[in-house]
A and B are shown apart, each in its own frame.
Chain A
Amino acid sequence: MEFLTNPLSLLILLSAASGLALLAVPPEKDGALKGLALAATLLIFFVSLKLYSGFDPAQTAMQFQLDKAWLPSFGINYLLGIDGISLLMIMLTTLLMPIAVLASFNYIKESRRGYYACLMFLEASMIGVFAALDLFAFYLFWEGMLIPMYFLIGIWGGPRRIYAALKFFIYTMAGSVLMLVAILWVVSAHHAATGAWTFSLPALYGGALTEQAQFWLFAAFALAFAVKVPLFPFHTWLPDAHVEAPTAGSVLLAGVLLKMGIYGYMRLAVPLFPVAALEFAPWLAGLGVFGIIYGSLVAWTQKDMKKMVAYSSVAHLGTVMLGIMAFEQSAVSGAVLQMVNHGLSTGALFLLVGVLYERRHTRMIEDYGGLAKVMPAFSAVFLVVTLSSIGMPGLNGFIGEVLVLFGSFRVYPWLAGAAVSGVILSAVYMLGMYQQVIFGPLRHTENKVLPDLSVREWLYLAPLLIFIVLIGVWPNPFLRRAMPAVNSYISLSRQQTAPAPAVVKIALGGEKTQ
């Protein structure tokens, strides 16, 4: 059974199977539900450690490959495999999952069975997105992720949850339907050129497509990923979804789902259509930088902590976008590292806001103040996470940001210069929020009795803190694993294909071609 011996496939199947197992537990058995969910996510994390230890950092090819015929008449295979970037993303996912489960123990009080099952199905599709090397499988996982996330926001979310869930679903789906047409077109063009049906990404890389075709195809893919990242004009679903989602939903949304957009550019859009990618790159980088400044300014004005963190994500992802669109080694590797960093520190920020919300049922900055006196441990953790998010030297955020800025400065000096302002702005709003929440007098009497972090909260915050410091002082093991993938991304983006004779076939009004 290769489906079970291949660790990637095992991770996906294990997540989906534990989701089904959770559905079989009687809904009134709370303890069993929580225990099973936690045990499943921990087991999956330990299985994923096998990926990390078995991964060969020197190798450039995809590792842990599994290739099984799925729908042979269409050339669709269940093709899995990872390189360093996907490895880091999968590890991030499996690390955040038990944390998300632990953080939900007290917060989720209704229909827990469905909740934990949704989390497990979400994990299956997230790992699937990062592991799939077949375009069809990728699209399946990419869209399949929508259903559990939609329910997570819509059922267990805040007061405006229905609006947020619908907006999230429709934005993301509308963004990616054109990608489906583009996928079909690419495969059809490949069939016309070679006579073989295949959805396999490695086989489709470097296909002979005209510049005009690449332009439209890249645009279709880029739209789908831009909604997910989210890039500036397509970001409006994000604050709503983040604010209304339950804590675990926000953690996964920020920690993993947003990375799927960036990952999509790196794995699909750019390597498949390098010519168009070069044309689009300055614009996408520019949108990223605009997002940095815009996101930071909007975050600055927020009174709701969760909304502030949400907008700070727009800014952080803008930095990552600038990095990957520079096609320069240090910028891209910095961007990859920054994807992990953002997952850790923003995830931690959402968890900390959740900690406060569970105690006081408010996320307004003005309802707090002087928490350092009553919650010293919380304040210390919050400080580390805030500094990591700002990019303080010695913590993880610094390395990624510096690499991106240094690298992209060589390619887009003006954009990189503008992006630096984001570093300053992030310090302004994050520290401002920290100061108002933690320092100052205890203005509200309700806050005087707030308990400090519990053991359970320590348990889920500690792993994040460890990695925040670890990557800050010793990023090498992570960078080393990502390096071959970064280099192959850059070399694929430089691959300028010769224009093929075929032009874009667009049939209007029943016109028949071929």
Chain B
Amino acid sequence: MIADPLAYAASALSGPLLLVLTAFVCLLLPLFIRQLRGTQGLIALGAVLVAITFFRQAPPAELAFFSEALLLSPLSSYLWAFALGVLALVIALSIARPPAPEENLGEYYFLLFMAGIGLMVLVAAGDLFTAFIALELLSLPVYALAGIRRSKPGLEAAYKYFMLGAFGSGMTVMGIAILSSLYPALTFTALKVGPAQPLALAGFLLVISGFAFKTALVPFHMWVPDAYEGAPTPISAFMAAAVKAGGVIVLWRLFSLFSGGPIREIFWWLAVVTAVSANLMALAQKGLKRLLAYSSVAHAGYIAVAFFGGRQGFEAVLYYLPVYAMATIGAFSVALLLEKEEKGPQIEDLAGLAKTRPWVAGAMAAFMFSLAGVPPLAGFFAKFYAFAGAVNSGYTSLVIIAIIMSAVSIYYYLKVTVVMYMKPSANGHTAEAPGLIEAVIFLMAAGVILAGIFSRPLLEQAAEASRWF
């Protein structure tokens, strides 16, 4: 045990508190001080970087606060570091290409920070009700962010996302209501030992459906392509990397309550249906952001496969999330770089990129190969760990289905590299290149290339974190 849990908690919670403070600063300060208008991005980035710098590795213990509503452990600190990293990258992208008109920038960063805090609370939530509140704190700002440009595709994205998301939230609330009538408490530890009855099963199913919406498992994925396509590209990256991660963590907590029975069977089918249908649907996509959307659904399926590996599988999930986030944020950054209209570039618009921007094309190829799971890139290692656990637990047939679908996915990822490298450029690419976007692209490319072969440090962190759920 550590000497002073409260001191640690105070220092750990200072990060989220700093974010809350900054959110309000971003929202309000530019209203009063004219000179600060347009600089919210820099303030936000500075605050996140400060939060990262003051970030401390959690002691090897689980500390429960607010009557087990918040669990601080190496797991939460691992995921908080992940959330802060994603937030910093999304802010960097937003600074390079402001996604909202200047007078809305304050709201933009305010909402982004609120969503970030929602994610941080969600991954540390110790009971179902806190998880639900955190989920709403994460989701509501993202609905607004998706439509912040108030253009037609943006509003359509926000509308679809909101309608379906609200439906999902409704199911979660219903499920929580059922469960709270059956269990003495809603903490995950209490849910584990509770009675198994049909009504409880219905409650769990409703809750799982709600979180499956956020994780984008088929058949709860309908909002994904439109929302990813219509939202500002940095927000699409945030949805793919962060919102999904939040859903995954809660789904894992729910999944690990059961050691067998119908819930596991349902997860089995969710994983299979997701991996199969998402990859098949992705084959037909023409827009880059839509392609990445379906790819994100497919990866949710692979993560669900990893669940079956038990603790080894959870370790793999914790490694998978940052590796997937790097590749997908990088790919969305390339989309942002080439963006001319709101829905983002078509795949065909990448033609000849290898000639005009060889390094960006190289990085994009690395992201595609990583998402496809081709060695020696990090995506291969992530899939390897994810599937290793499931095979080890005897779910070989599940892994065979997932791996065959991941072979199918190669076709659409390769299509992007074919266009970049083997097709002549139809029209020149935009000459001006915000350096910050390229910096994010190359940082992510370095991560995707190195985090695989040298996966030991990240894997060890993930292993340590996976012991504390």
Chain A residues 181-211 with CB under 8 Å of chain B are 181, 184-185, 187-188, 191
Among A170-178, A298-306, A328-336, A382-390, the stretch in contact with B: A170-178
Would you call B411 an interface residue if the criterion is a C-beta within 8 Å of the partner chain's C-beta atoms? yes
Distance (whole angstroms) from the CB of B392 to the closest CB of chain A: 4
Residues of B within 8 A of A504 (CB): 396
Number of cross-chain contacts by CB at 8 Å: 123
Chain A residues 446-495 with CB under 8 Å of chain B are none
Question: What separation, in Å, do the CA atoms of A234 and B355 have in the docked complex?
Answer: 35
Question: What separation, in Å, do the CA atoms of A407 and B461 have in the docked complex?
Answer: 55
Chain B residues 199-215 with CB under 8 Å of chain A are none
Q: Which residue of A lies closest to B261 (CB)?
A: A510
**Given A185-B396, A505-B394, A513-B394, 9 new contacts (CB under 8 A):** A71-B455, A144-B374, A154-B418, A154-B421, A154-B422, A166-B418, A181-B391, A507-B393, A512-B394
Q: Check if A510 sits within 8 Å of B264, measured CB to CB.
A: yes
Would you call B400 an interface residue if the criterion is a C-beta within 8 Å of the partner chain's C-beta atoms? yes
Among B72-80, B136-144, B265-273, the stretch in contact with A: B265-273
Residues of B within 8 A of A106 (CB): none
Distance (whole angstroms) from the CB of A121 to the closest CB of chain B: 10
Mask, B364-390, CB within 8 Å of A = 1, is: 000001000011100010001101100
The 9 closest A-B pairs by CB, nearest first: A510-B265, A513-B394, A510-B268, A505-B394, A184-B391, A188-B392, A510-B264, A140-B375, A174-B407
Residues of chain A touching chain B, judged by Cβ–Cβ distance below 8 Å, are 27, 70-74, 111, 114, 136, 139-141, 143-144, 146-147, 150-151, 154-155, 161-162, 165-166, 169-170, 173-174, 177-178, 180-181, 184-185, 187-188, 191, 504-510, 512-514
**Contact among B259, B369, B423, B456 for A147, CB-based, below 8 A:** B369
Distance (whole angstroms) from the CB of A54 to the closest CB of chain B: 28
Distance (whole angstroms) from the CB of A271 to the closest CB of chain B: 21
Would you call B463 an interface residue if the criterion is a C-beta within 8 Å of the partner chain's C-beta atoms? yes
Residues of B within 8 A of A147 (CB): 369, 374
**Contact among A70, A71, A505 for B396, CB-based, below 8 A:** A505
Residues of A within 8 A of B155 (CB): none
Would you call B397 an interface residue if the criterion is a C-beta within 8 Å of the partner chain's C-beta atoms? yes
Q: Which residue of B lies closest to A512 (CB)?
A: B260
Residues of A within 8 A of B380 (CB): 140, 143
**Contact among B266, B384, B407, B418 for A162, CB-based, below 8 A:** B418
Q: Check if A506 sits within 8 Å of B421, measured CB to CB.
A: no
Q: Check if B268 sits within 8 Å of A181, measured CB to CB.
A: no
Residues of A within 8 A of B237 (CB): none
Q: Check if B375 sits within 8 Å of A507, measured CB to CB.
A: no
Distance (whole angstroms) from the CB of B121 to the closest CB of chain A: 30
Residues of B within 8 A of A154 (CB): 417-418, 421-422
Identify whether the interface residues of A are mostly helix, strand, loop, or mixed: helix
Given contacts A71-B456, A143-B374, A505-B394, contact A170 B388 (CB under 8 A): no
Q: Check if A161 sits within 8 Å of B422, measured CB to CB.
A: yes
Q: Check if A506 sits within 8 Å of B396, measured CB to CB.
A: yes
Distance (whole angstroms) from the CB of A240 to the closest CB of chain B: 15
Distance (whole angstroms) from the CB of A237 to the closest CB of chain B: 14
Question: What separation, in Å, do the CA atoms of A141 and B147 have in the docked complex?
Answer: 45
Would you call B133 an interface residue if the criterion is a C-beta within 8 Å of the partner chain's C-beta atoms? no
Would you call B191 an interface residue if the criterion is a C-beta within 8 Å of the partner chain's C-beta atoms? no
Would you call B446 an interface residue if the criterion is a C-beta within 8 Å of the partner chain's C-beta atoms? no
Question: What separation, in Å, do the CA atoms of A191 and B391 have in the docked complex?
Answer: 12
Residues of chain B touching chain A, judged by Cβ–Cβ distance below 8 Å, are 259-260, 262, 264-269, 354-355, 358, 369, 374-376, 380, 384-385, 387-388, 391-400, 403-404, 406-407, 410-411, 414, 417-418, 421-423, 455-456, 459-460, 463
List 15 A–B pairs whose Cβ atoms lie within 8 Å, in order of A's numbering: A136-B384, A141-B375, A150-B414, A155-B354, A155-B421, A170-B407, A170-B410, A173-B374, A173-B407, A178-B404, A180-B384, A188-B392, A504-B396, A505-B396, A510-B267
Question: What separation, in Å, do the CA atoms of A141 and B398 have in the docked complex?
Answer: 26
Given contacts A139-B375, A154-B422, contact A70 B394 (CB under 8 A): no
Residues of A within 8 A of B406 (CB): 177
Residues of A within 8 A of B388 (CB): 74, 184, 187-188
Question: What separation, in Å, do the CA atoms of A19 and B443 have in the docked complex?
Answer: 21
Q: Check if A514 sits within 8 Å of B393, measured CB to CB.
A: yes
Distance (whole angstroms) from the CB of A268 to the closest CB of chain B: 16
**Contact among B259, B374, B392, B421 for A184, CB-based, below 8 A:** B392
Residues of A within 8 A of B375 (CB): 139-141, 143-144
Question: What separation, in Å, do the CA atoms of A161 and B418 have in the docked complex?
Answer: 10
Distance (whole angstroms) from the CB of B132 to the closest CB of chain A: 26
Residues of B within 8 A of A111 (CB): 354-355, 358
Residues of B within 8 A of A155 (CB): 354, 421-422
Q: Check if B455 sits within 8 Å of A188, measured CB to CB.
A: no
Given contacts A144-B375, A191-B392, A506-B396, contact A177 B403 (CB under 8 A): yes
Residues of A within 8 A of B393 (CB): 507, 512-514
Question: What separation, in Å, do the CA atoms of A185 and B391 have in the docked complex?
Answer: 6
Q: Check if B259 sits within 8 Å of A177, measured CB to CB.
A: no
**Contact among B369, B374, B400, B418 for A181, CB-based, below 8 A:** B400
Question: What separation, in Å, do the CA atoms of A182 and B456 have in the docked complex?
Answer: 24
Residues of B within 8 A of A27 (CB): 358
Distance (whole angstroms) from the CB of A365 to the closest CB of chain B: 29
Question: What separation, in Å, do the CA atoms of A335 and B411 have in the docked complex?
Answer: 35
Question: What separation, in Å, do the CA atoms of A72 and B456 have in the docked complex?
Answer: 8
Q: Check if B394 sits within 8 Å of A509, measured CB to CB.
A: no
Residues of B within 8 A of A184 (CB): 384, 387-388, 391-392, 399
Residues of A within 8 A of B358 (CB): 27, 111, 114
Q: Check if A507 sits within 8 Å of B397, measured CB to CB.
A: yes
Q: Check if A165 sits within 8 Å of B396, measured CB to CB.
A: no
Q: Which residue of A lies closest to B315 (CB)?
A: A73
Given contacts A143-B380, A173-B407, A512-B259, contact A180 B396 (CB under 8 A): no
Given contacts A70-B456, A143-B374, A173-B407, contact A181 B422 (CB under 8 A): no
Q: Which residue of B lies closest to A155 (CB)?
A: B421
Q: Which residue of A lies closest to B406 (CB)?
A: A177
Distance (whole angstroms) from the CB of B365 to the closest CB of chain A: 8
**Contact among A173, A174, A177, A510 for B266, CB-based, below 8 A:** A510
Q: Which residue of A lies closest to B391 (CB)?
A: A184
Distance (whole angstroms) from the CB of A81 to the closest CB of chain B: 20
Question: What separation, in Å, do the CA atoms of A118 and B403 have in the docked complex?
Answer: 27
Residues of B within 8 A of A191 (CB): 392
Question: What separation, in Å, do the CA atoms of A70 and B384 have in the docked complex?
Answer: 15
Residues of A within 8 A of B396 (CB): 181, 185, 504-507
Q: Check if B384 sits within 8 Å of A507, measured CB to CB.
A: no
Distance (whole angstroms) from the CB of A336 to the closest CB of chain B: 27
Residues of B within 8 A of A178 (CB): 400, 403-404
Question: What separation, in Å, do the CA atoms of A71 and B378 have in the docked complex?
Answer: 14
Residues of B within 8 A of A73 (CB): 459-460, 463
Residues of A within 8 A of B400 (CB): 178, 181
Question: What separation, in Å, do the CA atoms of A191 and B388 have in the docked complex?
Answer: 12
Q: Check if B459 sits within 8 Å of A140, measured CB to CB.
A: no
Q: Check if A512 sits within 8 Å of B264, measured CB to CB.
A: yes
Residues of B within 8 A of A177 (CB): 403-404, 406-407
Question: What separation, in Å, do the CA atoms of A91 and B260 have in the docked complex?
Answer: 54
Q: Which residue of B lies closest to A78 (CB)?
A: B453
Q: Check if B404 sits within 8 Å of A509, measured CB to CB.
A: no
Residues of A within 8 A of B395 (CB): 507
Distance (whole angstroms) from the CB of A155 to the closest CB of chain B: 5
Residues of B within 8 A of A143 (CB): 374-375, 380
Residues of A within 8 A of B459 (CB): 71, 73
Q: Which residue of B lies closest to A508 (CB)?
A: B397
Q: Check if A507 sits within 8 Å of B418, measured CB to CB.
A: no
Q: Check if A166 sits within 8 Å of B414, measured CB to CB.
A: yes
Question: What separation, in Å, do the CA atoms of A150 and B394 have in the docked complex?
Answer: 34
Question: What separation, in Å, do the CA atoms of A169 and B388 have in the docked complex?
Answer: 24
Distance (whole angstroms) from the CB of B452 to the closest CB of chain A: 9
Distance (whole angstroms) from the CB of A489 to the closest CB of chain B: 26
Question: What separation, in Å, do the CA atoms of A151 and B395 have in the docked complex?
Answer: 35
Given contacts A151-B421, A180-B403, A181-B400, contact A188 B264 (CB under 8 A): no
A140, A141, A187, A514 interface centre (most CB from chain B within 10 Å): A140
